[in-house]
Amino acid sequence: MIEPRELVKRYRAGTCTEAERRYVEAWLLRYRASDDTGLDEKDYQRIRHANWQAVRAQTISGGRHAKRRWLPFAAAAAILALAIGTWLLIDGTRGVSDMRLGTTEILPGGNRATLTLADGRIITLDEAQTGIVIGNRDITYQDGSALAGVIPSEAGESLRNGRAPSHAQADVQMMLSLSTPKGGTYQVTLPDGSKVWLNAASTLRYPIRFTDAVREVFLEGEAFFEIKGIEGTRMSRVPFNVQTSGQTIEVLGTQFNVSAYTDDPDTKTTLVTGRVKVGMSTLRNDVPTSQEVRERLVELSPGQQATTRGAAITVEEVDLSSYTAWKDGLFLFDDEPLDAIMRKISRWYDVEVVFNDGIDRQERFGGGVSRYGKLKEVLDRLSLTGKVRFAVTERRITVMP
Amino acid sequence: MTFKPFGGKFPYLSRMRRTNGEVVAYDEPELVARLVAGDEYAFAALFDHYHDVLLAFAYKRLHDEDDAKDVVQDVYIRLWKQRESFRLETNLENYLFKAVFNSVLNVFKHRSVHALHLEALVHVIPSVTEGTDHGIREQDMAHIIAMEVAALPTKMREAFELRWKDGLTNKQIALRMGLSEQTVETHMKRTLRVLRGRLQVALPFFL
């Protein structure tokens, strides 16, 4: 490494190598940008984003066909209201359904979950209820009815006192964990009022009380978050972090979906409203020091998705509805690879999926269907494309060309 | 059902991504070549790379967020629309700054009130203006000076404007700003020196 002074000397003399020249110029650019202007970093980000949206609208998207929005969110909601279990706008050749179904009908998932208490007791939650609320003094179902006897002694004590235990250490120990099985979904309202919708085969671990320093939850699987960040309140200034094995998500008050299944190579965070920062998971020990991890944070704007695979993060604009529709009772696939679609079906209907030879797992399909129909209805519609057929025996689906 | 490599999606990162998903370091000559060829990723990478410095440049002179924002926006839209006629050997940084400079100047012309009183300044900064009056009208020169005055540090600008816009004497300025007359004098001298330097840098953009 050359000394900076020497580098500048060479730059002035014009004897730099190409790489050195770029290094000096990049530094100059940064230096000039940091010159006091009256705008702060947040202003720059905000304006940069607004400008990019405007520039893009008048350049790239104007020069080609606008993206085929084949199912806007409003439409998805309408479908839900009508509870129609039909595939919409499936493009591609329409073939004859050649699905051979087993005799047993496989039913969709429902409100199934267990709550693991700090002392290790596991409580099976009521299937007639949709969610639980972690209150100041107790844990209840969303309609206010009590979860009898769920509060472990030490946590119950602090809850009844209406304040968090004095030591952060104690908080760490008092983690609750909400788990859904395959074919299960459940909601939880966290102590700060934030809401989380948990998809099938997922686990959310969270403290019974948040500390003043950080609100942190751990997710494996998929969840939709609606984080409370009311301006001016004390809690809004406490950072909210979602930790998964692939990504660490720093929330700045917002709605977003996180998919972090261990059987999926990709961890995806999709932002609906507000702002989040996404980086490599700090839980991973194969990533470098925390400083470097911090530098790799990518800030998302609404409509963007950050995907982590291995050590790479990519950001792209996505069709939001296809990543959040599950929460509203829909499967919505926007040109999704077959294996990803089958993973979702497998989790929700609690079935095993086997691919026969000759199946292109990466082939993409698009369409929507209610999650609350029978498995047969979903597979039926998929096979309408004429590109795949299914055989179902017991709880196993075989995908055939 | 068909696989679309772009899929209408777009990365928005300070680093860029090749079409095969590989993330690579900023390489301007390559990016410019790809921009000319109509590569959207390259355009996004160049947008990210220069946006903030261009915005800073415009904002410092305009002191108005919306105006600065619009100026930078237009410059990028033009860059994309004229990409095919963009010559590969052109220095992109110069091109962008020149474009922003000229757009800012146009905003100044529309806000002409600011410039009027500064016309006298044209004669105060002879070292810059002497050699250039064949190409630039006095009016334009006044606008350019007004623009560079706007980019001065706050205190310097305040003192300078009191003198050249409001016509106060150094003594009056000293009184108003709570400084000694000596300090104001030094301020003025330094300001003129800074301004000359800036104008010498700025004029090539304009010419």
Residue among A59, A364, A365 whose CB faces B80 most closely:
A59
How many whole angstroms from its chain centre is CA A349? Answer: 20
- Overall pTM surpassing 0.90 (yes/no): no
Torsion of CA A220, A225, A228, A234, to 10 degrees: 20
- List the Cα angle B126/B160/B151 in 5-degree steps: 85
Nearest CA in chain B to A367: B1
Q: Write out chain B residues lying below 8 Å of A387, CB-based.
A: 1
Q: How do the pLDDT tens digits run along chain A, 401 residues long?
A: 566 667 777 766 667 776 676 666 666 555 544 455 577 777 887 888 888 888 888 887 644 333 322 233 333 333 333 322 333 333 232 332 333 333 357 888 888 999 888 777 888 888 888 899 887 667 888 888 877 555 544 444 444 444 444 444 444 457 889 999 999 999 999 988 889 999 999 999 998 888 777 788 999 999 999 987 644 455 556 788 899 988 889 887 788 999 999 888 889 999 988 888 898 877 765 544 455 555 568 889 888 999 988 777 888 888 788 888 888 788 888 778 898 999 999 999 999 999 998 888 888 887 777 788 888 888 887 887 778 889 988 889 999 98
Torsion of CA A133, A139, A140, A144, to 10 degrees: -80
Question: By C-alpha distance, which of B68, B153, B57, B160 is closest to B117?
Answer: B160
Residue among A36, A301, A366 whose CB faces B1 most closely:
A366
Q: Which residues contact A178 (CB under 8 A, 6 or more apart)?
A: A113, A114, A115, A116, A132, A186, A188, A198, A203, A204, A206
Nearest CA in chain A to B43: A60
Residue among B1, B49, B72 whose CB faces A364 most closely:
B1
Give the mutation candidate from B3, B4, B12 for the A interface (greatest A CB count, under 10 A).
B12
- ipTM score: 0.73
| Integer Cα distance of B24 and B46 in angstroms | 13
Determine whether B136 is exposed, middle or buried from the number of CB atoms within 10 Å of its CB (0-12, 13-18, 19+). Answer: middle
CB contact under 8 A, A26 and B2: no
- Rounded to a whole number of angstroms, the distance from the CA of A198 to the nearest CA of chain B is 27
Residue among B7, B60, B77 whose CB faces A58 most closely:
B77
A vs B: CB pairs below 8 A: 105
DSSP 8-class letter at A100: B
Question: By C-alpha distance, which of A262, A270, A272, A330 is closest to A305?
Answer: A270
Q: Write out chain A residues lying below 8 Å of B76, CB-based.
A: 51, 55, 59
| Integer Cα distance of A106 and B187 in angstroms | 83
Whether the Cβ atoms of residue A128 and residue A187 lie closer than 8 Å to each other? no
SS3 for A251? Answer: strand
The two three-digit tokens of residue B205, written as one number = 């953009």
The two three-digit tokens of residue A400, written as one number = 């055939």
